[in-house]
Structure 1
């Protein structure tokens, strides 16, 4: 089976809860979804508030999701249900060890819209855990 490549509109919605406070943001961009037999790969670029670009690669498999970011920030974060994973988060202010515990991982496929939902906790360099909810919505672009 040859991979299917589709241009998609990507909407990243993030919510972060931290000791009684909450913040949320949403970013939109264009990307490409490559669908194979056992996995999907999404690539897109994010424009950060500072104007710098982050290249994001998301590999979606049955039992885990890997999110690799390069550019203004760098990390390779692995989401595996009910497991702690570790990575190094590199950004302009320094290098921070990061631990992630994945509570929920779901990939929902529709005809024109796909959704990746991840609920997880993050510990940065021994700080208290912060609860994160990430939702990636992939909407197939209409062909001209």
Structure 2
């Protein structure tokens, strides 16, 4: 992997889709972000402005698993995506922590060095208290 030092600017194209309670919501947006490497993991970070500004970080581990962290002033959600088994996570709110779990039936990470670019596709199920909250799809593409 190319040495990324303090971060390399990237253009990020994000498309998400989730089905929850019979309703499908799609979201599509481009962001300016940064990619950097720490140890054997690759980090992709951008700021997302919705009602509040959130910092979103995708951490790609050497084994291809992915950790997604979304945080703002009041909330912090950390999800783990791996090998189609239930993985515990936490959704931290001002009212306390909510235990959540992900199951990842499909995870694909493709990276290239010249030019530095990549694709991360994640299909996952989100659970809380044993109940299915929704089915989610993330399609992220980035390039320098």
TM-score by length of 2: 0.80
Q: 1:53 offset after TM fit, Å?
A: 0.9
**Aligned residues: CA RMSD:** 2.4
1:115 maps to 2:119: yes
For residues 12 and 87 of structure 2, what CA distance do their matches in structure 1 show? 25
Q: 1:89 offset after TM fit, Å?
A: 1.3
8 Å CA contact retained: 1:39, 1:59: yes
For residues 81 and 142 of structure 2, what CA distance do their matches in structure 1 show? 19
Secondary structure, in 3 states, of the residue corresponding to 1:3? coil
Structure 1 unmatched runs, 5+? none
Alignment of 1:47-126 (within 5 A): 47-48=49-50, 50=51, 52-61=52-61, 62-72=63-73, 73-91=75-93, 95-110=97-112, 111-112=114-115, 113-126=117-130
Farther-moved stretch of structure 1 (63-72 vs 32-41) = 32-41
Q: How many residues align?
A: 138
Q: 1:94 offset after TM fit, Å?
A: 6.4
TM-score by length of 1: 0.80
Instruction: Give every structure 1 segment of 4 or more consecutive aligned residues whose post-TM-superposition deviation is greater than 6 Å.
Output: none
Select which of 133, 137, 142 maps to 1:138: 142
8 Å CA contact retained: 1:3, 1:36: no
